[in-house]
């Protein structure tokens, strides 16, 4: 909105306020102190409308506030028709007087209905539930009935067609209790709206919803008082009603003022980011934006994708979803994206932009760190793929050995055995001895081949799982083993393979170097990891650099994003622990 239009609307608001209340200024019976307050309701509401309209021209809230304030002020024009009676100089009724009375009376429902519409539709000026629409329509209807009932009672300047009409019980009930009941329903709607809102939404909604709740509560109390026939003095009701009505446009003005004072929030953000032990960037942004749900994504040009602080890829919310995205750029190049509550984008855009600008350097630094983490994550993923590819190749080689060479050797051994039986007694002792030797060599070759295949990748691990494979490993160990395996379902194949080879390589080292008399193996799930612990009572002194195969185990566990720890003091045995993530 242009500056000239703001000034014109402001001057018009002053004129409307004085014209609308002009009749009461001539009323010698009306308490004078109530007139400025009554005038203030209309003027402040129009002022809030001008300010909102100027700051948010695309939002219907500003024009509606202005119309509501004008309707409140202009509803007082009916006083022009009756003030001569107050002065003791009555004149004959005229069509203009009747028109002023009807206009003033029927403008009041406009003010009430728009006000209810705005608070139930805050902040975007749209009603989002059927019940809210029903309440607004009912308020409009009841307000018209209440105001029109004024015309039913015979007054010299009332419309002739309404003169002498008696009051109706139903009409009295509507005027006495209708607004109170609707105010109570509106109060429940406001409470439900606030309770179901996010933290960021509550920060935005609270001023208007609190003022609207005050207005609804005043109407409810007044309705209860009427029902109990213990009405307080009219002056008290008037003051309470005026204060409540003033609080609604004041809340809108407060929100605009708060939005314009974003520098204080940005200043706190700068202090947080600059302090030696300041908050993490995400927490500092959440505090500055009053939104605990804030997330930050960083752009990695090398991979052309957004990642989180840990370097993992992150998908940004789509337009129209329950989350909004504000992109942070430098010289047209994306640096990061701040994911936040959509209400911040719609109601606090200046705050979001200022916070983004203030955090630009910190976001760039975090982006560089996230990029490094993303590359490390890519390296880990690559190592994991290599390990998994190696395991797949191990399984292929094991199947080929089992189904190919091993089966052929077994077939050959059976053939030699049957041939030896058929030729029994018909060959020389030297030939029979050679055939027996050939059978033994074939059996030894089959055993060695089976052991080789088991070392490459045991078939029992693939077919029956980790528990069965470890039992088989323990049975073949030359060192007594105590196996403590927590009962569990089948784990992901890479996890089972890693755990198995950690145990297998450890037992090999124990047999070769440790001179141990006993080994304890414990395998348990802990949170989201599988923890493998191998403890022996050998001579200790093991080290990954000593060529014992521990370096290969460390690489395999690291490829699974796990951790391998070794404690092996000389002469005090060895403790090896592998922490393997399950996902």
- What's the CA gap between 152 and 170, in Å, rounded? 14
Q: Model confidence over 409-435: pLDDT tens digits? A: 777 777 777 777 777 767 677 777 777
Task: Look at residue 173 and tell me if it is in a domain.
Answer: yes
- What's the CA gap between 5 and 462, in Å, rounded? 79
What would the mean pLDDT of 537-552 be, rounded to a whole number? 74
Task: Look at residue 12 and tell me if it is in a domain.
Answer: yes
Q: Which domain holds residue 350?
A: 275-374
Per-residue pLDDT band at 124 (split at 50, 70, 90): confident
Task: Look at residue 435 and tell me if it is in a domain.
Answer: no
Tell me: do 247 and 315 sit in the same domain: no
Give the DSSP per-residue string, 314-334: -PPPPTTSSSEEEEEEETTEE
Q: Model confidence over 30-40: pLDDT tens digits? A: 566 677 777 88
Tell me: do 496 and 554 sit in the same domain: yes
The sign one gets for the Cα dihedral 165, 166, 167, 168 is negative
Q: Exposed (0-12), middle (13-18) or buried (19+): which is 327, by Cβ within 10 Å?
A: middle
The last residue of one of the domains, among 355, 374, 393, is 374
Q: Which residue has the higher pLDDT, 407 or 239?
A: 239
Task: Look at residue 448 and tell me if it is in a domain.
Answer: no
Tell me the H-state helices in 324-423.
Answer: 342-347, 349-358, 360-400, 406-422
529 beta partners: 526, 581
Output the pLDDT for position 128.
77
The sign one gets for the Cα dihedral 105, 111, 113, 116 is negative
pLDDT at 92 > cutoff 70? no
Number of domains observed in the structure of the chain: 3
Task: Quickly tell me which residue has 């909105």 as its tokens.
Answer: 1
Tell me: do 191 and 312 sit in the same domain: no
Task: Look at residue 131 and tell me if it is in a domain.
Answer: yes
Cis before 376 (ω within 30): no
Three-class SS of residue 212? helix
Per-residue pLDDT band at 154 (split at 50, 70, 90): very low
Q: Which residue has the higher pLDDT, 433 or 214?
A: 214
- What's the CA gap between 522 and 503, in Å, rounded? 10
Tell me: do 247 and 302 sit in the same domain: no
What would the mean pLDDT of 119-142 be, rounded to a whole number? 83
Task: Look at residue 420 and tell me if it is in a domain.
Answer: no
Per-residue pLDDT band at 141 (split at 50, 70, 90): confident
C-alpha 541 chain-centroid distance: 51
- What's the CA gap between 490 and 474, in Å, rounded? 19
Q: Tell whether pTM > 0.75.
A: no
Tell me: do 169 and 32 sit in the same domain: yes
Tell me: do 236 and 311 sit in the same domain: no
The last residue of one of the domains, among 358, 374, 390, is 374
What would the mean pLDDT of 5-10 be, rounded to a whole number? 80
Entry field: residues in the chain: 583
Any residues with CB less than 8 A from the CB of 422 and at least 6 apart, and which? none
What would the mean pLDDT of 80-101 be, rounded to a whole number? 62
Tell me: do 200 and 339 sit in the same domain: no
Tell me: do 45 and 166 sit in the same domain: yes
pLDDT at 93 > cutoff 80? no
Average pLDDT, the chain: 77
* CATH number of the domain to which 243 belongs: 1.20.1070
Tell me: do 208 and 344 sit in the same domain: no
Any residues with CB less than 8 A from the CB of 236 and at least 6 apart, and which? none
Q: Model confidence over 468-488: pLDDT tens digits? A: 888 888 888 888 889 888 888
Q: Model confidence over 253-281: pLDDT tens digits? A: 888 887 766 555 566 666 566 555 556 77
The last residue of one of the domains, among 198, 232, 260, is 260
Task: Look at residue 308 and tell me if it is in a domain.
Answer: yes
Does residue 161 contact residue 302 with C-beta atoms inside 8 Å?
A: no
List C-alpha distances in Å: 216 to 116, 211, 340: 9, 9, 32
Tell me: do 536 and 504 sit in the same domain: yes
Task: Look at residue 15 and tell me if it is in a domain.
Answer: yes
Intra-chain end-to-end CA distance of the chain, in Å = 56
Tell me: do 249 and 105 sit in the same domain: yes
Output the pLDDT for position 510.
86
Percent of the chain residues topping a pLDDT of 90: 4
Output the pLDDT for position 269.
67
What would the mean pLDDT of 370-388 be, rounded to a whole number? 70
Query: Which span out of 52-56, 221-225, 358-362 was modeled with the highest average pLDDT?
Result: 52-56
Tell me: do 80 and 180 sit in the same domain: yes
Does residue 465 contact residue 490 with C-beta atoms inside 8 Å?
A: yes
């Amino acid at each position: 909105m242009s500056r000239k239009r703001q000034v014109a609307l402001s001057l018009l608001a002053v004129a409307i306020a004085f014209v609308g209340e002009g009749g009461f200024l001539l009323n010698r019976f009306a308490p004078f102190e109530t007139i400025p307050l009554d005038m203030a309701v209309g003027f402040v509401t129009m002022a809030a409308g001008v300010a909102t309209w100027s700051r948010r021209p695309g939002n219907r809230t500003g024009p509606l506030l202005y119309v509501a304030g004008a309707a409140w002020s202009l509803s007082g024009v009916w006083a022009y028709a009756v003030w001569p009676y107050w002065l003791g100089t009555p004149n004959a009724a005229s069509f203009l007087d009747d028109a002023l009375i009807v206009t003033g009376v029927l403008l009041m429902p406009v003010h009430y209905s728009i006000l209810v519409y705005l608070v139930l539709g805050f902040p975007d000026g749209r009603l989002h539930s059927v019940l809210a629409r029903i309440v607004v329509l009912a308020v409009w209807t009841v307000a018209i009935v209440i105001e029109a009932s004024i015309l039913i009672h015979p007054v010299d300047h009332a419309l002739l067609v309404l003169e002498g009409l008696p009051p109706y019980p139903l009409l009295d009930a509507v005027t006495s209790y209708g607004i109170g009941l609707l105010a109570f329903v509106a109060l429940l709607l406001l409470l439900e709206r606030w309770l179901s809102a996010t933290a960021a939404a509550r920060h935005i909604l609270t001023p208007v919803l609190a003022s609207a709740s005050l207005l609804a509560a005043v109407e409810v109390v007044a309705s209860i008082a009427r029902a109990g026939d213990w009405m307080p003095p009219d002056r008290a009701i008037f003051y309470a009603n005026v204060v409540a009505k003033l609080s609604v446009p004041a809340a809108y003005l407060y929100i605009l003022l708060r939005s314009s004072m974003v520098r204080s929030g940005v200043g706190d953000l700068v202090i947080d980011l600059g302090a030696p032990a300041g908050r993490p960037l995400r927490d500092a942004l959440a505090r500055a934006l009053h939104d605990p749900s804030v997330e930050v994504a960083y752009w990695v040009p090398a991979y052309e994708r957004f990642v989180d602080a840990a370097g993992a890829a992150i998908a940004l919310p789509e337009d129209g979803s329950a989350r909004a995205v504000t992109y942070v750029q430098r010289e047209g190049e994306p640096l990061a994206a701040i994911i936040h509550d959509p209400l911040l984008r719609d109601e606090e855009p200046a705050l979001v932009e200022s916070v983004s600008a203030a955090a630009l350097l910190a976001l760039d630094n975090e982006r560089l760190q996230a990029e490094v983490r993303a590359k490390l994550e890519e390296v880990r993923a690559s190592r994991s793929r290599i390990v998994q590819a190696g395991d797949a190749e191990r399984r292929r080689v094991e199947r080929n050995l089992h189904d190919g060479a091993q089966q052929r050797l077994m077939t050959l051994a059976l053939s030699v055995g049957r041939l030896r039986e058929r030729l029994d007694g018909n060959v020389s002792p030297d030939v029979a001895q050679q055939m027996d030797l050939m059978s033994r060599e074939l059996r030894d070759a089959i055993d060695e081949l089976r052991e080789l295949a088991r070392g490459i990748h045991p078939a029992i691990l693939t077919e029956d799982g980790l528990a069965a494979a470890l039992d088989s490993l323990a049975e073949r160990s030359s060192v007594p083993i105590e196996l403590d395996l927590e009962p569990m379902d089948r784990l992901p194949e890479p996890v089972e393979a890693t755990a198995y080879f950690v145990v297998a390589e450890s037992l090999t080292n124990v047999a070769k170097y440790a001179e141990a008399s006993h080994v304890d193996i414990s395998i348990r799930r802990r949170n989201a990891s599988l923890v493998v612990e191998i403890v022996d009572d050998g001579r200790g002194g093991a080290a990954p650099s000593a060529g014992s195969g521990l370096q290969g185990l460390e690489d395999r566990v690291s490829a699974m994003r796990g951790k391998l720890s070794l404690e092996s003091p000389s002469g005090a045995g060895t403790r090896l622990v592998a922490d393997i993530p399950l996902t």
